[in-house]
């Protein structure tokens, strides 16, 4: 494995067997999963990046025009027309918000990075959604989120910003001392400080996950909602088959 990424290692935390199918065996998806969340997020990410790269020059009207041109390709992915309309309106609200952002402090948008973690561990590769700098606060990192709001100090989520902070140090000589998750659909931000201890914990986590991969420890984790809806390898998974059979054979309560 030439490199790791936060998303890959997060998947390993969620289900080792799915990680194995997807990134070790590199199997193509076998079971249908909804794609509208991911495609919607990708579309908003591209407009978010474009607005920053234009130094805020792109207006709401220009961004909306591009959104309206691209959105029809997503409509068929939604489970219903009503859901497609709801997401469309959410996207408009998000664009209205970030089109008003002052981006003069943005150093880079979708900045690619490769950062070494520890000897013997493949480097972590990724993209920082937004990297900012001000005289008062130094470097800051931001990650765009188009889904539900969560606590920025949720350790499983927060590690992403800690890794971005490490990447900032590698790219610019100084780590990002703070950052935020930008929930553009909901108009909220979750600001966090990022300490040296946080960066050390992120390094330790990546190292631990690589050691798990290296010893081929790919245990399945059954989560009914995730497995039935979002796992593209559920028909191949013996744990899923056993748990579903157990569930279906359980006596129903009167």
SS (H, E, C) 218-234: CCCCCCHHHHHHHCCCH
User: Is the model's pLDDT at 253 over the cut of 80?
Assistant: no
Range of the domain at 154: 1-240
Give the model's pLDDT for residue 67.
98
Model pTM? 0.93
In whole angstroms, give the CA distance from residue 217 to residue 220: 10
Whether 17 is covered by a domain: the verdict is yes
Q: Are β-strands 178-183 and 138-145 bridged in parallel, bridged antiparallel, or unpaired?
A: parallel
Give the model's pLDDT for residue 99.
96
Whether 108 is covered by a domain: the verdict is yes
With 0-12 / 13-18 / 19 or more C-beta atoms within 10 angstroms meaning exposed / middle / buried, residue 196 is exposed
Give the model's pLDDT for residue 40.
98
User: Is the model's pLDDT at 48 over the cut of 80?
Assistant: yes
Mean pLDDT computed over every residue of the chain? 95
User: Is the model's pLDDT at 119 over the cut of 80?
Assistant: yes
Whether 249 is covered by a domain: the verdict is no
What's the pLDDT band for 27 if we cut at 50, 70, 90?
A: very high
In whole angstroms, give the CA distance from residue 181 to residue 150: 9
Task: Supply 182's token pair.
Answer: 């930008």
Whether 251 is covered by a domain: the verdict is no
Percent of the chain with pLDDT over 90: 93
CATH code, domain carrying 166: 3.90.320
Give the model's pLDDT for residue 252.
63
- Segment 105-129 shows an average pLDDT of 96
Per 3-state DSSP, the chain is made up of helix, strand and coil in percentages (nearest 5) of 50, 15, 35
- Segment 26-42 shows an average pLDDT of 96
The total number of structural domains that make up the chain:
1
pLDDT digits (tens, 9 = 90+) for 143-201: 999 999 999 999 899 999 999 999 999 999 999 999 999 999 999 999 999 999 999 99
pLDDT digits (tens, 9 = 90+) for 57-105: 999 999 999 999 999 999 999 999 999 999 999 999 999 999 999 999 9
Whether 37 is covered by a domain: the verdict is yes
Whether 78 is covered by a domain: the verdict is yes
Give the model's pLDDT for residue 254.
52
Give the model's pLDDT for residue 33.
96
Whether 246 is covered by a domain: the verdict is no
In whole angstroms, give the CA distance from residue 69 to residue 75: 12
In whole angstroms, give the CA distance from residue 58 to residue 99: 7
What count of other Cβ atoms lies within 10 Å of the Cβ of residue 181?
23
Task: Supply 239's token pair.
Answer: 């744990």
Q: Compute φ and ψ for 162, nearest 5 degrees.
A: -65, -40
Task: Supply 243's token pair.
Answer: 């748990």
CB burial readout 5-28, b (16+ within 10 A) else e: bbebbeebeebbbbbbbbbeeeee
Is 152:114 a contact under the CB 8 Å cutoff? no
The CA-based angle 147-148-150, given to 5 degrees, is 125
Is 142:191 a contact under the CB 8 Å cutoff? no
In whole angstroms, give the CA distance from residue 175 to residue 198: 11
In whole angstroms, give the CA distance from residue 158 to residue 82: 33
Whether 245 is covered by a domain: the verdict is no
What are the residues whose beta carbons fall under 8 Å from the beta carbon of 204, sequence distance 6 or more? none
């Amino acid at each position: 494995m030439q490199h790791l990424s936060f998303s890959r290692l997060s998947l390993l935390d969620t289900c080792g067997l799915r990680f194995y199918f997807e990134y070790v065996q590199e199997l193509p998806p076998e079971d249908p999963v909804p794609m509208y969340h991911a495609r919607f997020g990708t579309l908003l990410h591209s407009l978010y990046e474009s607005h920053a790269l234009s130094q805020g020059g792109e207006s709401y009207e220009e961004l909306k025009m591009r959104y309206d041109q691209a959105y029809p390709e997503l409509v068929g992915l939604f489970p219903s027309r009503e859901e497609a309309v709801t997401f469309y309106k959410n996207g408009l609200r998000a664009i209205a918000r970030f089109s008003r952002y002052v981006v003069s402090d943005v150093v880079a948008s979708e900045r690619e990075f490769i950062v070494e973690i520890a000897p013997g561990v493949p480097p972590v590769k990724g993209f920082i959604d937004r990297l900012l700098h001000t005289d008062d606060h130094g470097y800051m990192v931001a990650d765009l989120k188009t889904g539900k709001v969560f606590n920025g100090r949720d350790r499983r989520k927060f590690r992403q910003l800690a890794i971005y902070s490490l990447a900032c140090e590698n790219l610019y000589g100084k780590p990002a001392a703070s950052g935020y998750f930008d929930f553009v659909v909901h108009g909220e931000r979750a600001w966090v400080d990022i300490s040296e201890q946080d960066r050390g914990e992120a390094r330790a986590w990546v190292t631990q996950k690589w050691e798990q991969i290296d010893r081929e420890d790919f245990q399945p984790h059954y989560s009914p909602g995730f497995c039935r809806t979002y796992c593209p390898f559920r028909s191949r998974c013996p744990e899923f088959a056993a748990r579903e059979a157990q569930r279906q054979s359980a006596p129903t309560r009167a």
